[in-house]
Structure 1
Amino acid sequence: MDHKPSLDRIDLKILEVLQRDGRLPFQRLSEQVNLTARPCLERVRRLEKAGIIKGYSAIVDLPQAAPALVVLAQVSLADHVVSQQAFTREIQGTPQVLDCWLVSGSFDFLLRIGCQHIDEYRQLADRWLASTAFHIEKILTTTELQQIKRDGTPRP
């Protein structure tokens, strides 16, 4: 749908509650937003149809599968016109890349990368830097020490 409806305070409250618990039964959701169940369900369906609610997800914590090392890498490209699409395709096909954002400012991309050890990350970064398709000017790397807060909302 091209047109997104305007949101009133009840819509905003519904979205706030669903962001905290997307599996909340409609009866409980309606109670929390002070609306009866049927109109609450209709509002949620309207928000889904309009593309405001894009989906529901589960935040999964698998300690065995968790990477031993999580790196945040800021990547700056030397030539955006030539390399942005190629680098985007590379990132989408690299399983170690957990999250990626195109950003403004001094860098072009912010990546969250999960590896089993620092050598795995170094080999990945060296491969990207050596690639003539990506034209990477620089990569600034920091290591994630402790997760403080995570939203977990999926982004297309």
Structure 2
Amino acid sequence: MNITLDRIDRQILAILACEGRISYRALSERIHLTPRPCQERVRRLERAGIIRGYHAALVLPQDEGVVVLAQVAMADKSRRAAQQAFEQAVAACDEVLDCWLVSGEFDYQLRLRCRDLAAFRTLSSTWLENRQFRIGRIVSSPQLQEIKLAARPAS
């Protein structure tokens, strides 16, 4: 669905990105609309796929695992079958929180939460050894401290 966002739609999205549980009444007051048209706009944005869901932003205690940022470079960038196989595995992997296809030296940027670094090492070794994926290398960095976490749209 092709949709053009006006000023009010953008206000709604900005508020919902930070306060996904806000009531229609409170939202409508903030954007200066009555509740019914406000609700209709939100539903239209949902139907258009612009709002894909509502999520809780979690800040888990340190003992709930380690967050690792990983960059993955495919060995053969022209093999779409290898990319598709890797993307399917990533989509099914509970440890992967986010994954982006990116341009540049690496092909994928991932954010993972693993039980510990040994669990991440096992997972990344499994990916590297899987001939179907054809991964050239994985460069990773464990997260030490969260400085800023922006409200993120659902994926």
Partner of 2:5: 7
Structure 1 residues 23-34: aligned runs within 5 Å: 23-34=21-32
1:152 and 1:66 mapped to 2: Cα distance? 21
Partner of 2:136: 137
SS in 2 for 1:54: coil
Is 1:77 aligned to residue 63 of structure 2?
A: no
Give me the identity figure in percent: 47
The gaps in structure 2 that reach 5 residues or longer are none
Task: Give CA deviations for 1:22-55 in whole Å, capped at 9, x if unaligned.
Answer: 1111111111111122221221122122222112
Amino acid at match of 1:154: A
1:39 and 1:82 mapped to 2: Cα distance? 46
Partner of 2:37: 39
1:89 and 1:32 mapped to 2: Cα distance? 41
Amino acid at match of 2:16: L
Report the number of matched residues. 152
Q: TM-score, normalised by structure 1?
A: 0.87
**Cα RMSD for the two superposed structures:** 1.8
- CA drift of 1:65 comes to 7.2
2:42 and 2:62 mapped to 1: Cα distance? 36
Going from structure 1 to structure 2, the CA distance change for 1:47 and 1:58 (only over 3 Å counts) comes to same
SS in 2 for 1:76: strand
The gaps in structure 1 that reach 5 residues or longer are none
2:95 and 2:48 mapped to 1: Cα distance? 33
Amino acid at match of 1:53: I
Moved more, 85-94 or 54-63: 54-63
Amino acid at match of 1:101: W
Partner of 2:145: 146
1:54 and 1:82 mapped to 2: Cα distance? 28
1:88 and 1:102 mapped to 2: Cα distance? 9
Q: TM-score, normalised by structure 2?
A: 0.88
Going from structure 1 to structure 2, the CA distance change for 1:96 and 1:49 (only over 3 Å counts) comes to closer
2:43 and 2:114 mapped to 1: Cα distance? 39
2:52 and 2:115 mapped to 1: Cα distance? 32
